[in-house]
Structure 1
Amino acid sequence: MTTTMTQAVTHTPRSTDLAEIAHGTTTRMRIAEIARFLQENLGPRITARITRVSDPRQVGKWAAGDTRPRDEAEERLRAALQTFHVIQSAEDNHTARAWMIGMNPQLEDETPAQCIADGRFKDVMVAARAYVDGC
């Protein structure tokens, strides 16, 4: 007698795994670490643009721990880092930077960096997951 068992297999897409890891990493990091990472990987001007501050030197002050960003700027920093980590985990730093600053067809040909500055965090993460799933 043969018994056939059907097992429910759940498959978690790769992008979901990476997004969860990036979320955990970003949540544990202090804001100075986040500012420093983004300053080093995107540059102070792009990081300032993402956070909607006019002076890129302000990013350096956050990175050094001299000052803290306003809540809105911190939200943008955390969103940028989380997105960067999703792409970086699937690719590398160079590709993650290029992805963040390049036009994206899923974002109506705007850059992910600009969309984060505009507060479109969810749209950017959806685009990042789609990119990773297409790799």
Structure 2
Amino acid sequence: MPSDTTTPTATVPKSAASAERAHSITVRMHISDIARFLQDNLGQRLTARIANINDPKQVGKWASGDTTPRPEAEDRLRAALQVFQLIQDAESLYTARAWMIGMNPQLDDEAPAQCIADGRKRDVMVAARAYVDGG
């Protein structure tokens, strides 16, 4: 009987490759493109909430390149895009949108978009990776 000479290999989480792609996309995109993408896929009001600003029309100004967000708002927008891209890469555009706005049990039943607005971007990324990996 032949012996099994295969050696066990470490399993790479499904989210690893998607996370790398999402990060690469996020750091290469201009903030106006990020604002436009989020506005197109999540809506102007939700994008404003993610950025933690009161005026949704400001998002349109960012998307057109007329103005740029403050660093804190840009940080939140980049985090939202990165998470959105991670989910979209593994699933679909529609799943990513639903995941961002729906209650999430790993985030105490809060929506990931709201958690990013509250400054909990790392918690959201952990939850996104767990979702992609089936957890």
- The TM-score, its normalising length taken from structure 2, stands at 0.93
1:37 matched residue in structure 2: 37
Match status 1:67 vs 2:67 = yes
Determine helix, strand or coil for the equivalent of 2:66.
Answer: coil
CA deviation string 1:31-88 (max 9, x = no partner): 0000000000000000000001111110000000000000000000000000000111
1:109 matched residue in structure 2: 109
Q: Distance in 1 between matches of 2:131 and 2:34?
A: 23
> Any gaps of 5 or more consecutive residues in structure 1?
none
Q: What letter is aligned with 2:22? A: A
1:130 matched residue in structure 2: 130
Q: Distance in 1 between matches of 2:77 and 2:52?
A: 10
List structure 1 segments (4+ residues) > 6 angstroms apart after TM superposition: none
Instruction: Determine what percentage of the aligned residue pairs are the same residue.
Output: 67
* Mean CA deviation greater in 105-114 or 88-97: 88-97
Q: What letter is aligned with 1:42? A: L
Superposed displacement of residue 23, structure 1: 0.4
- The TM-score, its normalising length taken from structure 1, stands at 0.93
Superposed displacement of residue 93, structure 1: 1.0
| Pairwise CA RMSD | 1.7
